[in-house]
Chains A and B, each alone.
Chain A
Amino acid sequence: MTQIELRGVQKFFGAVQVIKDLNLKIADNEFIVLLGQSGCGKTTTLRAIAGLETIDEGDILIDGKPVQHLKAADRDIAMVFQSFSLYPHMSVYENIAFPLRATRKSKSEIDQEVRSVAKTLQILDLLAKKPSALSGGDMQRVAIGRALVRRPKAMLMDEPIGALDAKLREEMRAEIKRLHIKQGSTTIYVTHDQIEAMSLADRIVIMHEGVLQQVGTPDEVYSRPANLFVAQFVGSPVMNVADAAVAETASSVSVSVGGAASGFEFPRTLLSKLNGHAGGSLALGIRPEGVLIRRDAADGFMAVETQIVEPLGSFDIVDLKVGSKMLRARTKSGYISGPGEKVFARIDPTQAHFFDKASGKSLEVRL
């Protein structure tokens, strides 16, 4: 049972504030992913929780007790580093046994626990090897083994699979998830890779320039981004964002994008949901799968021209010119033959997001 709480945490490096008033509650057994670009403060946050970095303001609580003045060794937390940080002069066995040797456990107890962790991670046959003789994936398994062996209150992982190649990364991702389900320990995982975040997290914490942007389940941050930063950071291909102008027509509401003469049709309820922001400066956000394309004209569809087609195997990404703006749409692969084709497009109102351009905040319009 381990809860971790950050209360008003602030951290400065000289004059630069790297963590700005961070508040976060992490529940027992939860898998939390800190997601953000490099330099956003996510790793500093993790290191502060581990006790490798001091904080200038606020509290870090583990199970309700403030720990910000405790040394790393006294916080009972394990950490997996991006560089794995396996001690090169020790064998795999000694590496995994190392945290146990800091405690007053007997040799046979240590041996038993090292072997049981090695069994879980399927690295029993590697125990006698030196880290330099291991592959990247095995190094990672050993690093995780070293973190798990002490049965810490919480596991911290700093881009643990960032150094691996793409295929191995996918395998290890699944393995980490499996392990978390099996072992069930509170885990904080730092990454800049949104796919990793989406696939692993119970909840994702998105940070930008030291400020927490949104906390939510993968589905929440994907389908209900709190602001423009989250909207564009999460999801691949990236969400289309364009300046939008809302105009009332006889039967419906028209939203024109990129200064185009005609607009996309939206239901009338949009006006009331925009709640007075209709006249202000608005940005429309729409994911490529929310831009619907067909070859023949139909009611509510607007004529546009295709510019570039990117075949991605399971689907194609098609760039459409709308006014001065490019909208990217997702289609079945091979649906559009190539650039310069006249097609008809529409925006799915249920997938549209509206943002206040000045603050970047979502207007929480759900149609």
Chain B
Amino acid sequence: MAAVRTSSEITFNRVAIVAVLLVTIIFLAPIYWIASTAFKPRNLATTIPPTVVFQPEISPFVKLFTKRSQLRSPPSPEEYAAAPWWERVVFDGGEKIVRDGKGQVQWSGYPSRFLNSLIIAITSTVLAVGMGTFTAYGFSRFKVKGEADLLFFILSTRMLPPVVVAIPMFLMYRAVGLNDTHIGLIILYTAFNLSFSVWLMKGFMDEIPKEYEEAALVDGYTRMEAFFKIVLPEAATGIAATAVFCFITAWNEYAFALIMTNRRAQTAPPFIPSQVGSGLPDWTVIAAGTFLFLLPVAIFTFLLRNHLLRGMSFGAIRK
């Protein structure tokens, strides 16, 4: 079923489509750049003009995960032949993988930073969304004295750029021994996301008709049971949407991670650029690290895409 359109509307439509395509290309260009650089041989990474057609290589990823050193002389043919394929691609680039006394491969700092990112982002997302859901339910269903003021107070925690409090936070964290700990960043990101989570979830909770819980109450359930059996499944869309946003915020956070952590609990965002300064910058390795770093958010968002789409338009349409 298509409504009648005039020729000028059709022309406008075509122009709009071209404009949207252009904007999309501009937005996708950096991602293409990072993805292509991650698979380029090192000598093609910084050519001017950029190399578009090339033989993709896996060596940047091998280098990303291992500690390497410059080769002073090329490896002997026996040494080269004995090496596994992933070590050969490093030899080909004029470097060798560092091994300890027992011959074990030395890992780079990247895997542990990546794991830190996962632990911290997932835990803080679960906490922020969980607490946010309970808080939002309370505000949505019960008469809370000074509700508007409390909600405004919760929102007000987002009213200043977080970096403003970075130094005092750092001093406080140092005083209580929370800097460079997982729990430190988890608390920080949870606090960060909580206001957002409460407000978003409140919107979703308000949309769930009270009658569902009332029906459950009359059907013989307690309010807590009604919450878990009826409200939570109904709020799944909202929870998914909120979780995606919280996860992205925690995953991408750079400033606090840079200030509060340096090794043990350091996340990937401050680690990746720090590699630029160590020796000769190998942009392919940095691109490989960035490319891998993009994946979890992309996968997470992709898995929840249906919920997310519904979540974005939730409440926009009156049923």
Tell me, rounded to whole Å, the shortest Cβ–Cβ distance linking B67 to chain A.
51
In angstroms, Cα B219 to Cα A52, docked, is 12
Question: Chain B, 192-221, contact with A by CB distance < 8 Å: what is the 0/1 string?
Answer: 000000000000000001011011111111
Task: Give complex CA distance A71, B213 in Å.
Answer: 13
**Interchain CB contact (< 8 A) of A88 among B214, B217, B219, B234:** B234
Q: Are B218 and A87 in contact (CB under 8 A)?
A: no
Residues of chain A within 8 A of B211, CB atoms compared: 81, 83, 85
Cβ-defined contact, B214 with A150, below 8 A: no
Q: Once the chains bind, are B219 and A99 in contact (CB under 8 Å)?
A: yes
Chain A residues whose C-beta falls within 8 Å of the C-beta of B214 in the assembled complex = 50, 52, 72, 79, 81, 85
Contact present for B218 and A73 (CB under 8 Å): yes
Q: Does A79 contact B234, Cβ atoms closer than 8 Å?
A: no
Q: Are B221 and A81 in contact (CB under 8 A)?
A: no
What CA separation (Å) do A21 and B242 show in the bound complex? 47
- B residues 33-57 in Cβ contact with A at 8 Å: none
From B222, B230, B233, contact of A73 by CB (8 A): B222
- Cα A99 to Cα B233 in complex, Å, equals 17
Known A81-B211, A83-B211; contact A52-B230, beta-carbon cutoff 8 A: no
B143 vs chain A, min Cβ distance (A): 11
CB distance from A240 to the nearest CB of B (A): 40
Instruction: Decide if B215 touches A79 in the complex (CB within 8 Å).
Output: yes
A78-93: which residues lie under 8 A (CB-CB) from chain B? 78-79, 81, 83, 85, 87-89
Docked-complex contact B234 and A89, CB < 8 angstroms: yes
Q: What is the distance, in angstroms, from A282's C-beta to the closest C-beta of chain B?
A: 46
Contact status B216-A98, CB under 8 Å: yes
Interface 1/0 per residue, B228-243 and A, CB below 8 Å = 0110011010000000
A52 touches B217 (CB 8 A): yes
Number of interface residues of B (CB under 8 A): 18
B234 & A99 in contact (Cβ 8 Å cutoff): no
- Taking a contact as CB atoms under 8 Å apart, the answer to whether A102 and B220 are in contact is yes
Once the chains are docked, how many angstroms separate the CA of A156 from the CA of B217?
14
B190 → chain A closest CB, angstroms: 28
Determine whether A77 belongs to the interface, using a CB cutoff of 8 Å to chain B. Answer: yes
Q: Which residues from B are CB-within-8-Å of A81?
A: 211, 214-215
A150 with B219, Cβ < 8 A, contacts A85-B209, A89-B234 known = yes
Q: How far is the CA of A134 from the CA of B233 in the complex (A)?
A: 20
Q: How far is the CB of B153 from chain A (nearest CB, A)?
A: 25
**CB nearest neighbor in B for A75:** B218
Known: A85-B209, A85-B211, A87-B212. A78 touches B218 (CB 8 A): yes
Beta-carbon contacts under 8 Å, B108-140 to A: none
Report how far A244 CA is from B218 CA in the complex, Å. Answer: 51
Q: Does residue A135 face the partner (Cβ distance < 8 Å to B)?
A: no
Assess whether B219 is in contact with A98, with CB atoms less than 8 Å apart: yes
When distances are taken between beta carbons in the complex, the residues of chain A under 8 Å from B234 are 87-89
Measured CB to CB, the nearest residue on chain B to A53 is: B214
Q: How many angstroms between the C-alpha atoms of A139 and B216 in the bound complex? A: 17
A side interface size, CB within 8 A? 22
Instruction: For B233, give its contact among A52, A71, A89 (CB under 8 Å).
Output: A89
A79–B233 CA distance with the chains assembled, in angstroms: 22
Q: Compute how far the CA of A99 lies from the CA of B216 in the bound complex, rounded to whole angstroms.
A: 8
Give A73 to B236 CA distance when docked, in angstroms: 25
Q: How far apart sit A78 and B225, CA to CA, in the bound complex (Å)? A: 17
Q: Check if A73 sits within 8 Å of B212, measured CB to CB.
A: no
| CB within 8 Å for A87 and B230 given contacts A73-B222, A81-B211 | yes
The residue among B220, B233, B236 with the most chain A CB atoms within 10 A of its own CB is B220
List residues of A (150-180) whose CB comes within 8 Å of B's CBs.
150, 156
Do B212 and A51 touch (CB < 8 A)?
Answer: no
What 0/1 pattern do residues 64 to 80 of A give for CB contact below 8 A with B? 00000001110001110
Min CB distance B234 to A, Å, is 7
With A85-B211, A87-B212: A72-B217 Cβ-Cβ less than 8 Å: yes
Contact between chains at A71 and B217 (CB < 8 Å): yes
Give A11 to B139 CA distance when docked, in angstroms.
24
Does the CB pair B218–A51 fall under 8 Å? yes
Distance to closest chain B CB from A100 (angstroms): 9
Q: Does A224 contact B (CB under 8 A)?
A: no
User: By the criterion CB–CB under 8 Å, are B217 and A150 in contact?
Assistant: no
Most buried by B among A50, A77, A79: A79
Q: Does A103 contact B (CB under 8 A)?
A: yes
Docked pose: A135 CA to B215 CA in angstroms: 20
Q: Which residues of B contact A208 (CB under 8 A)?
A: none
> Bound complex: CA of A71 vs CA of B233, how far in Å?
24
Q: A83, B209: Cβ atoms under 8 Å? A: yes
Task: Report whether B215 and A85 are in contact in the complex, using a CB–CB cutoff of 8 Å.
Answer: yes
B284–chain A nearest beta-carbon distance, Å: 48
Question: Are A102 and B221 in touch, CB under 8 angstroms?
Answer: yes
Q: Tell me if A146 is interfacial: C-beta within 8 Å of chain B.
A: yes
Give complex CA distance A73, B226 in Å. Answer: 11
Using known A-B contacts A88-B234, A89-B233, determine if residue A73 contacts B215 with beta carbons closer than 8 Å.
Answer: no
Question: Cβ of B220: which chain A residues have Cβ within 8 Å of it?
Answer: 73, 99, 102-103, 150
CB of A72 within 8 A of CB of B212, answer no
CA–CA, A150 and B214, complex, Å: 16
Min C-beta distance of A141 to chain B, whole Å: 16
Q: List 28 A-B contacts (CB under 8 A).
A: A50-B218, A51-B217, A52-B217, A52-B218, A71-B217, A71-B222, A72-B217, A72-B218, A73-B217, A73-B218, A73-B219, A78-B218, A78-B219, A81-B211, A81-B214, A81-B215, A83-B209, A85-B211, A85-B214, A87-B215, A87-B233, A88-B234, A89-B233, A89-B234, A98-B219, A103-B220, A150-B220, A156-B218
Seen from chain B, the residues whose Cβ lies within 8 Å of a Cβ on chain A are: 209, 211-212, 214-222, 225, 229-230, 233-234, 236
Given contacts A85-B212, A98-B219, 13 further A-B contacts (CB under 8 A): A50-B218, A52-B214, A52-B217, A72-B214, A78-B218, A85-B214, A87-B230, A87-B234, A99-B219, A102-B219, A102-B221, A102-B225, A150-B220
Residues of A within 8 A of B (CB): 50-52, 71-73, 77-79, 81, 83, 85, 87-89, 98-99, 102-103, 146, 150, 156
CB-based closest 3 A-B pairs: A102-B220, A99-B219, A85-B211
